[in-house]
Amino acid sequence: MRILLIRTSALGDVVHALPVLRALRRQLPDAHISWVLEGWIAPLLANDPDLNEIVEVSLRSWRRLPWHRHLGHWLRLRQHLRQLRPDVVLDLMGNHKAAFIARLSGCRRRVGLRREDRREPSSSLWINQPVPALGNHAVDRMLSVLQGLDLLTESSSFGGELLRPDLTPDEHQHLKTLPQRYAVILPGAGWGNKTWTASHWAAVAAELERRIELPTLLAPGPGEEDLTEAILQQSAQHELRISSAGVLSIPGLVSLLRNAEVVLGGDTGPGHLAHALHTPTIMIHGPTDPHRHGLWRAEEYSLAHRLPCSYCHKRFDSPKACLLRLSPHRVADAAIARIRQHPNPPASESASTDRSFNR
């Protein structure tokens, strides 16, 4: 069977789709599995043994091109997909973009969530084998699509030990200079109201150092330089061992997160990636529901302060009370407890993980 997965972005959503890939490979070991993926995320799965082929796209940049070049990219994608000759397409996005790509493939069997369970309900017109969502969490909703192949949806995992993207020589050398033990703070988030304040993060770093002598590394994303600098300035007042790892590539981020003792951040893709890598992770939530967007099968480590307006899923430019009322002390307590519950990497990781970042 030739299977085409469509989950183009973003990083957290691609991580949430990994259990679908693992379930497919386990239950259909001889299948040829391809995945349509944004080019900047593609290195995450470049060496994944469960995946046969990545079909790279750059949908965001295509939209900024003149119409004739925009059309040319879509025509080349259509040609590539039809050369794959998929027997079934699994739409893991539930919107018009994914459903259109499914139709573009020419595949006659297009499986996706039914209309009432889709992010963009009218996109169900492109799908000819709808299935119901069997759970609330984003991962469980994607796993529901396996019903279309009469496969099991419950027993699956991220398979984080299989994520072994290649580091560049420069990044390899950079990561070797980092401390032997460290916590990682992911300071930013895609929305302003998902982003905690610099003073809150600095206070958490201070507690980690004071209570368990653990230094902190900041792992900012593009555009988070000002927030990172503000945290460093706050931390300098307390003479903390805190520094920035800089903006890393996907392979560099995987290595940094995999070797951390704990990772703390908001509802962001790197946070979900850390959890998939089996690293102890604490995630803080404000506008998004931890039962749907928290750490899969580890919701007790997705912290939230519930208010009547919580989980509005609306974007604002700055954090609101739902996030600000989470105290640094509570987050630090959770991080320390998580470390003590998970002092060493699991056996499947420890055999292949050293502290030299040589992978």
Tell me what pLDDT residue 101 has.
95
354 confidence band (pLDDT: 50, 70, 90)? very low
Tell me what pLDDT residue 259 has.
96
Q: How many angstroms separate the CA atoms of 148 and 92, rounded? A: 12
Written as one letter, the residue type at 182 is Y
Are the C-beta atoms of 331 and 264 separated by less than 8 Å? Answer: yes
Are the C-beta atoms of 113 and 144 separated by less than 8 Å? Answer: yes
110 confidence band (pLDDT: 50, 70, 90)? very high
Q: Which two tokens stand for residue 140?
A: 């469980």
Q: Which residue would you say has higher pLDDT here, 220 or 64?
A: 220
- Model confidence at 346: pLDDT above 90: no
Q: How many angstroms separate the CA atoms of 209 and 19, rounded? A: 35
3-class secondary-structure state, position 135? coil
Within 10 angstroms of residue 88's Cβ, the number of other Cβ atoms is: 20
Rounded to 5°, the CA angle 246-263-346 comes to: 120
Q: How far is CA 156 from CA 19, 139, 152, 226, in A?
A: 6, 10, 9, 39
Residue whose pair of structure tokens reads 């992010």 in the numeric block: 119
What's the N-to-C CA distance of the chain in angstroms?
32
Instruction: Give the least confident one: 13-22, 29-38, 169-178, 247-256.
Output: 169-178
358 confidence band (pLDDT: 50, 70, 90)? very low
> pLDDT digits over 56-101, tens only?
999 877 777 676 677 888 899 999 999 999 999 999 999 999 999 9
What are the residue ranges of helices labelled H in 96-239? 96-104, 138-143, 169-176, 198-212, 225-236
Is the bond leading into 10 cis (omega within 30 degrees of zero)? yes
Mean pLDDT of the chain: 91
- Model confidence at 352: pLDDT above 70: no
Q: How many angstroms separate the CA atoms of 57 and 214, rounded? A: 40
Q: Which two tokens stand for residue 356?
A: 């030299």
Q: How many angstroms separate the CA atoms of 240 and 236, rounded? A: 6
- Model confidence at 238: pLDDT above 90: no
Tell me what pLDDT residue 154 has.
83
- Model confidence at 355: pLDDT above 50: no
Region 213-233: mean pLDDT is 95
Are the C-beta atoms of 114 and 131 separated by less than 8 Å? Answer: yes
What H or E segment, with its residue span, contains residue 37? strand 32-38
Q: How many angstroms separate the CA atoms of 235 and 199, rounded? A: 8
Q: How many angstroms separate the CA atoms of 24 and 150, rounded? A: 11
DSSP bridge pairs for 353: none
- Model confidence at 357: pLDDT above 50: no
Q: Which two tokens stand for residue 111?
A: 């499986």
Q: How many angstroms separate the CA atoms of 142 and 26, rounded? A: 16
> pLDDT digits over 307-319, tens only?
999 899 999 999 9
Region 344-348: mean pLDDT is 44
SS (H, E, C) 196-228: CCHHHHHHHHHHHHHHHCCCEEECCCCCCHHHH
